[in-house]
Amino acid sequence: MKKVCVFGAGAVGGHIAARLAQAGVDVSVIARGAHLKAMQTSGLRLIAGTEDVTVPVRASDTPADLGPQDLVISTLKAQALGGVAAQMAPLLHDTTPVVYAVNGVPWWYFHGRVPDAATRLPRLDPDGALWRHVGPARVLGCVIRSPNELVEPGVIRSMTATNRFLVGELDGTLSPRLLDAVSVMKAGLPGAEATSDIRADIWNKLLVNLPTSLLSSLTTSTTKELIEDDGVRDLYVRICQETCAIAARHGYPLPLDLNEQFGYVGKNAHRPSMLQDLLAGRPLELDAQLLAMQDLARQAEVPTPTIDIAVTLLAQRARSSFQASLR
């Protein structure tokens, strides 16, 4: 049986690990702190609608305890990826693929696209640790469409019945290792799918993340509340339009279907992961979700006045709430 390790099994990774364990997949998790202790002592609990399941799961904070894997699924926040890149070594044999399930512009985005010197995004891999210790050859990109919250250590609440995980090779091929990874994931996650254009899926997800991360975090509102107010909805639309303009200049003209957008975000009273982090006094995924998008806008000379104001305000809010959490 294939061995799968979920690295950074918090809200999303906990959901993935619980579903895989439920389906009988040989899955283990890397986590830390009180959440790790709770999983080791009482198992991993997933609450999804009326369903409430607890599964035993092998959990550690030390990759060497778990050994080489057939598949690693990273569900860390973007800003944590570089710091653990070197620690992944014990989980990797020569060909182990690593699925990077993460929001925002990914560190590997330009790999294979433009001449080598310009392929790295220093903001997302400041000292090159990801490039050096993992490298783009192992990477399968993954877009998450699955809202979840870690409600207490060891306990994940899933906010919706439809959970999609779009997984793709960076060069778009439907390779045997991609189909293998998706079939392992599908055992517990019927919404896992192989995609032949992971970058298009990333842009589509950015189109949801830019307005929801910015506006929910600034207003402390759930995604559903955001679109109930005319003024906030107007800002939401402007942020979407600016995001579409950036995407188009980078080769991805996105159709802006506001009915579809509002249908997706309005369905759940979900606190986006960025708002969850803000309320908990944790660092935000500002670089990957927001500042990298401003970089791409500047590169393509696309004006983003609404995004810029919202990012400035949110960055300040993040600084002050992080400071408050230290007091």
Ligand X SMILES: CC(C)(CO)C(=O)C(=O)O
The entry of ligand NDP, ligand X, none that residue 33 binds, CB within 5 to 8 Å by partner kind: ligand NDP
Chosen residue from 25, 102, 207, 311 binding ligand NDP by CB under 6 A: 102
x/- mask, ligand X, residues 197-236, rule CB under 6 A, reads -----------xx--x----------x-------------
The encoded tokens of residue 298 equal 């500047």
Please pick, among 37, 186, 205, 224, the residue that the annotation labels catalytic: 205
The entry of ligand X, ligand NDP, none that residue 31 binds, CB within 5 to 8 Å by partner kind: ligand NDP
DSSP string, 27-75: EEEE--HHHHHHHHHH-EEEEETTEEEEE--EEES-HHHH--BSEEEE-
Q: What is the tally of helices (H) and strands (E) in the chain? A: 14, 12
Instruction: Report the nearest approach of ligand X to the CB of residue 103 (Å).
Output: 5
How many chain residues are in contact with ligand NDP, going by CB under 6 A? Answer: 26
Q: Checking DSSP bridges between strand 148-152 and strand 51-55, what pairing results, if any?
A: unpaired
- Contact between 40 and ligand NDP per CB under 6 A: no
Q: Which residues contact 168 (CB under 8 A, 6 or more apart)?
A: 140, 141, 142, 178, 194, 195, 196, 197, 198, 201
Nearer to ligand NDP, 96 or 222 (CB): 222
- Contact between 29 and ligand NDP per CB under 6 A: no
x/- mask, ligand X, residues 84-123, rule CB under 6 A, reads -------------------x--------------------
The encoded tokens of residue 236 equal 């939401």
Q: End-to-end distance of the chain based on CA atoms, in angstroms?
A: 48
Please, which of residues 258-277 interact with ligand X by CB under 6 A? Answer: 270, 272-273
Q: Catalytic: 205?
A: yes
Smallest Cα–Cα separation from 164: which of 196, 197, 142, 139?
Answer: 142
Compute the distance between CA of residue 187 and CA of residue 89 in angstroms, rounded to an integer.
26
Residues that bind ligand X (CB under 6 A): 103, 145, 147, 208-209, 212, 223, 270, 272-273
